[in-house]
Amino acid sequence: MLENFLSFIFKPLCPLCQRHTHHIICEYCEKKLLSCKLSNPQISINQNYFLFVWAKYDNYIKRAIFIFKYDKAKQIGDFFGQILAKEWLKYNHLTNNKNITIVPIPLHNEKQKERGFNQSQLIANSFCQITGYQHLPNLLARVKNTDAMFGLNVMERQTNITQAFSVGKDYSKFNRQHSVVILDDIYTTGATVREAIKVLNILEINVIGVIAIASSLQSIDNEK
C-alpha cells in the first residue's frame, strides 16, 4: 500500500544515476550515452558477415552494460534495443531485406537462472519491436556453461567457447527464406559469434551479419 503510494508520487529512478525520470534512462545519462555513438556503425572485419556496432566498449557504455547485466537493470535492454534500431534504420541498404531473423546469443540455463534474463534477448526483443524483424531467441541453445570471457586471452577465449552452442527449440519456427543476423551485447574477438555461426551453417542457415551494442575492436579507434 505504502509502496503503491510512493511509486505514485515519485517518478521511477534512472538505473544509471538514481535521478528521478519519466524515461528508461534520465536525460542526463542518455546524453552521455549518445555521445559514445560511433559515427559509422559498420565495421569491416571479414567478407563472410557484416558487423554493425553502436559504440566503442568504453566509458559510459561499459558502465551501462555492467549495470544492465550485473545490477539486473532489465529496463536498460529496452533502451539499447531502441537506440540500435534507430541507427540500423538509417542504413537503408541493410534494411531493404525484410527476410531477416534476429538471433540473440543464448546464455546457458544456469547462468540465465542466476541473472534472471538473457541481456541479448532483451535487446533483440526491443530491436525487433521497432524493425519488425522476426525474433527467435531459442534458435540456438547454449549447451556449455562457459567461463566469463573477460581476462582470457584470444586462445583461451576460443577454447572456452568451442562447442558451446547447439540447435535450440525454435528451430522448427525458422523460415527457410530468411537469413540470420546475430545479436550480442559486446563484440570482442568474435570467437563467440564464429562458434554460433558454425552451428547455424551446419543447419544450412545463412548468417549475413552481427549486431552489437559495443565492441572493443581496435579498428573502431581508427574509424571514429
Binding site for Zn ion (CB under 5 A): 14, 16-17, 19, 26, 29
Q: How far is the CB of 83 from Zn ion (least distance, A)?
A: 15
Q: How far is the CB of 65 from Zn ion (least distance, A)?
A: 15
- Contacts for 115 with CB less than 8 Å, ≥ 6 apart: 69, 72, 107
Sheet holding 50-56, edge to edge: 42-43, 50-56, 207-215, 179-187, 100-104, 134-135
Question: Which residue's CB is nearer to Zn ion, number 27 or number 110?
Answer: 27
Side-chain-side CA neighbours of residue 201 (13 Å): 11
Q: How far apart are CA 152 and CA 168, in angstroms?
A: 27
Question: Which residue's CB is nearer to Zn ion, number 14 or number 200?
Answer: 14
Q: Which amino acid, 140? A: L
Q: How far apart are CA 12 and CA 26, in angstroms?
A: 10
Q: How far is the CB of 115 from Zn ion (least distance, A)?
A: 22
The label of the residue with cell 545519462 reads 29
Question: Which residue's CB is nearer to Zn ion, number 83 or number 199?
Answer: 83
Question: Which residue's CB is nearer to Zn ion, number 26 or number 199?
Answer: 26
Question: Which residue's CB is nearer to Zn ion, number 82 or number 162?
Answer: 82
Q: How far is the CB of 19 from Zn ion (least distance, A)?
A: 5
Q: How far is the CB of 16 from Zn ion (least distance, A)?
A: 4
